[in-house]
Structure 1
Amino acid sequence: MLHFRLALLPAFALLLITFMANDSAARDNLKDQLEPVRQEFALPALVAAVAHEGKIVAAGASGVRAIGHDAKAELQDQIHIGSDTKAMTALLAGMAVEEGRLAWDSTIGEVLGDEVQGMNETLAKVRLEQLLSHSSGIPSDTQEMIEIYFNTDAFDYNLTNLRLMALEAWKKNEPVIPENSPFQYANFGYLIAGTMLETAMGQPWEALIQQRIFQPLELETAGLGATATPGLIDALVGHFPDDDGQPEPRLWGAAADIPPIMGPAGTAHMSILDFARWGGWIAGQAERGPDLVEPETLAYIMEPKVQAKIPDPPPGIPEEGGYALGWGFEQFDWAERPLHTHNGSNSMNLAKILIDRDQDLAIVVATNIGGEQANLAAGEIMKTLYLTYGKD
Structure 2
Amino acid sequence: MLIRFVAAALLVLPTPLLAQALTPAETARIDAIVAKSLADTGVPSASIAVVRGDRIVLAKAYGKQSETRAVADAKAPYQIASISKQFTAAAILLLQDERKLSLDDTVSQYVPGITDGDKITIRQLLSHTSGLQDYWPQDYSFKAMATPVTPQQIVDRWAKKPLDFAPGTQWQYSNTGYVVAGLIVEKVAGMPLLAFLQQRIFTPLDIKAIDQDLAIGPNYPSGYKRFALGPVRVETPAAHGWLFAAGELSMSAADLAKWDVARLTRSVLPAADWRLQETPVKLADGSTNGYGLGVSTGASGGHRYIEHSGEAVGFLSENVVFPDDHVAIVVLTNSWFSDAFQRITKGITAIVLPAAPTDTADTAALARARTVFAQLRRGTLDRTQLTEDARFYFTPTALTDYRASLAKLGVPTSFEQVGKTRLRGGFVNRTYRATYPSQTLAISTYALPGADGAFEQYLVAPAQ
TM over 0.5: yes
Q: 1:283 to 1:185 in 2, by over 3 A?
A: same
* Structure 2 residue aligned with 1:208: 196
User: Which among 179, 191, 207 is matched to residue 191 of structure 1?
Assistant: 179
Amino acid at match of 2:344: I
- Whether contact under 8 Å (1:225, 1:257) holds in the other structure is no
Q: 1:73 to 1:25 in 2, by over 3 A?
A: farther
Alignment pair present for 1:298 and 2:274: yes
Structure 1 vs Structure 2 CA RMSD: 3.2
Alpha-carbon displacement from aligned partner over 1:108-161 (angstroms, at most 9, x marks no partner): 111223xx4xx43x2332100000000011122369xx989748575xxxxxxx
Q: 1:83 to 1:268 in 2, by over 3 A?
A: same
Aligned-partner Cα distance in 2 for 1:330–1:180:
21
Aligned-partner Cα distance in 1 for 2:329–2:71:
22
- Whether contact under 8 Å (2:133, 2:161) holds in the other structure is no
* Structure 1 residue aligned with 2:225: 240
Alignment pair present for 1:133 and 2:109: no
* Structure 2 residue aligned with 1:44: 44
* Structure 2 residue aligned with 1:81: 80
Alpha-carbon displacement from aligned partner over 1:293-352 (angstroms, at most 9, x marks no partner): 210111001111148xxxxxxxxxxxx9411111012443xx214421111011310010
User: Which among 198, 205, 210 is matched to residue 223 of structure 1?
Assistant: 210
Alignment pair present for 1:279 and 2:276: no
Amino acid at match of 2:206: E
Identity of matched residues, %? 24
How does the TM-score come out when normalised to structure 1? 0.74
* Structure 2 residue aligned with 1:327: 295
- Whether contact under 8 Å (1:46, 1:63) holds in the other structure is yes
Aligned-partner Cα distance in 2 for 1:210–1:149:
30
Q: 1:353 to 1:153 in 2, by over 3 A?
A: closer
Alignment pair present for 1:263 and 2:244: yes
- Whether contact under 8 Å (2:151, 2:244) holds in the other structure is no
Q: 1:170 to 1:344 in 2, by over 3 A?
A: closer
How do 1:365-380 and structure 2 match up within 5 A? 365-371=331-337, 373=338, 375=339, 377-380=340-343
- Whether contact under 8 Å (1:258, 1:267) holds in the other structure is no
Aligned-partner Cα distance in 2 for 1:323–1:107:
20
Aligned-partner Cα distance in 1 for 2:89–2:264:
16
- Whether contact under 8 Å (1:93, 1:197) holds in the other structure is yes
- Whether contact under 8 Å (2:130, 2:167) holds in the other structure is no
Aligned-partner Cα distance in 1 for 2:174–2:228:
29
- Whether contact under 8 Å (2:146, 2:238) holds in the other structure is no
Higher relative contact order (CA 8 A, sep 6+): 1
How do 1:4-15 and structure 2 match up within 5 A? none
Larger of the two Rg values belongs to structure: 2
Aligned-partner Cα distance in 2 for 1:357–1:366:
21
Aligned-partner Cα distance in 1 for 2:306–2:117:
29
* Structure 1 residue aligned with 2:448: none
Q: Name the structure where helix makes up a greater proportion of residues.
A: 1
Aligned-partner Cα distance in 2 for 1:24–1:330:
25
Aligned-partner Cα distance in 2 for 1:142–1:226:
17
| Corresponding pairs, count | 327
